[in-house]
Amino acid sequence: MIKKVLIGRENLTLDDFIAVCRHSAEVVISEESRKSVELSRETVKSFVENGDVVYGVTTGFGKFSEVCVTREQSIQMQRNLIVSHAVGSGEFFGRDVVRGVMLLRINNLCIGYSGVRYKIVKMMAEMLNKGVHPMIPEKGSLGASGDLAPLAHMVLPMIGLGKAEYMGEILAGRTAMEKAGIEITDLDAKEGLALINGTQVMTAVGALTIYDSMKLIDIADLAACMAFEALHGIISVLDPRLHRLRPHKGQIKTAVNMLKMLEGSMCTMKQGEGKIQDAYSLRCTPQVHGASRDALEFVKEKVEIEMNSVTDNPLIFPETGEGISGGNFHGQPVALAFDFLGIALAELADISERRLERMVNPALNGLPAFLVDSGGVNSGFMIVQYSAAALVSENKVLAHPASVDSIPSSGNQEDHVSMGTIGARKAMEIFKNTRRVLAMELMCSCQAIDLGSGKALGKATKEAYNMIRREVDKLICDREMYEDINNLENLLTHKKLNEITDNFCGGDVIDH
């Protein structure tokens, strides 16, 4: 397990990010980063002393960019920027998201093109290490100029305002900082803008989702394997020769995964042994899962680029003494990726529900109707499929891209926005729905296996079956099953089943 993450020595990785967000790894700022931060700060000081016209330093913001301000006004303007922009809505982000937002903001500032004082990034690292977590509402960002509203809520406790969670309590921001022994600060020229102008909220949400998704897709392969065994699927469709002729990496990887996990199984058959073809939900699993797997790899690449990017404005170039106002805060590069992530996850749930339906529908298999004896008296898994279908349908609505929308703001100065944070939040919700659908499929697969031929399972699927059966008993007659589903979903949430898939498939992302 990663115990310490050094900011500045090398690029922040997804594993580093998870170590800080979920396992409270210590954040340490490198000496190299300290020097870079201080150098860019000296450049900002020269702008103020010389009266140079630099956006957000000696001018107002957005539509007010043509209004010049004095040094005294600049300091008040930075505070006003935070309090006026802290207008988020909805529920608060979870602790892991908040920690991710703070970590990415520190990393952004430490690259050395933002012009803040070193004490600002040092304070944020101290907040992370001592567990002071600002309360940040989920809604209110347009995704350009970055995540202004939610990031303003992140800053409030730093100036003695807002609310923060500390030691399990939600406290006034000033109180949380005092209890943690962290001194609050005033904001100097450029600092308010540097703290809130960027894509760190959407990136934090997206990074957590892509990390979890890359673990979940191996579970999707495992669930498909167990459905193959429950339905005596034709394993010939996994033949490597077939997939080499259409060499998409994800498709090949899925087929290889499934062959490894089904090794030793007596519950599958070869083409022509009992039937000629399976339905697409079995036969085309490598093609469908593989397409989602390739999409996840694309999103992961975009997220890791964004995690290590400088996305505030203006950017300070100490080597030339310039402050250049550009558009790195615009979330479009990751907004498109997060919409793609949601679509890729929705498809995993879509095909999973179809496999589930084939197990519970007596017209599509030789099993008892809805996988229970004494049908009629018992409903069995009838409404499990019903519930899965509802989640899949919800995913279809959520998968509509957010990035194709734009509403002009700031007096039409900011006339195209990315909606990337909405896209990231939707992808996270789709992920949760998909995880639950896969839990339902796994539960139905075990029941169908119990009602089937009794032949030997594959090496990996046998281990998975045993783990699942330790959590959920075979259904003999109707009972409350929501807790059964919850128990299985917990196996996925805590990545217990990934201990099996990692052994047979090799995870693309290492869990800590």
Residue type, 274: G
The pair phi, psi for residue 501, each rounded to 5°, is -65, -35
CA 179 vs CA 8, 102, 127, 154, 291: distances in Å = 29, 19, 11, 18, 50
How many whole angstroms separate alpha carbon 457 and alpha carbon 439?
19
Residue type, 189: A
What one-character-per-residue DSSP string does 361-391 give?
A: -GGGSSSPGGG-SSBTTB-TTHHHHHHHHHH
55 among known catalytic residues: yes
Query: 378: which strand partners?
Result: 375
396 with 408: CB under 8 angstroms?
Answer: no
382 with 370: CB under 8 angstroms?
Answer: yes
472 with 446: CB under 8 angstroms?
Answer: yes
Question: DSSP assignment, residue 104?
Answer: H
How many whole angstroms separate alpha carbon 184 and alpha carbon 161?
9
Among candidate residues 55, 113, 166, 465, the one labeled active-site is 55
Element (H, E) at 482: helix 482-493
**How many Å is the maximal CA-CA distance in the chain?**
86
> Of the candidates 219, 469, 481, which has an alpha carbon nearest to the alpha carbon of residue 370?
481
345 with 214: CB under 8 angstroms?
Answer: no
How many whole angstroms separate alpha carbon 208 and alpha carbon 18?
7
As separate numbers, helices (DSSP H) first and strands (DSSP E) second, the chain gives 19, 9
How many whole angstroms separate alpha carbon 173 and alpha carbon 159?
8
Per the listing, tokens 């800053």 go with 155
SS3 of residue 134 by DSSP: strand
SS3 of residue 487 by DSSP: helix
Please say whether the dihedral angle defined by the alpha carbons of residues 89, 94, 99 and 104, taken in this order, is positive or negative. negative
> CB-based burial of residue 363 (10 Å sphere; 0-12 exposed, 13-18 middle, 19+ buried)?
exposed
> CB-based burial of residue 452 (10 Å sphere; 0-12 exposed, 13-18 middle, 19+ buried)?
middle
Active site residues: 55
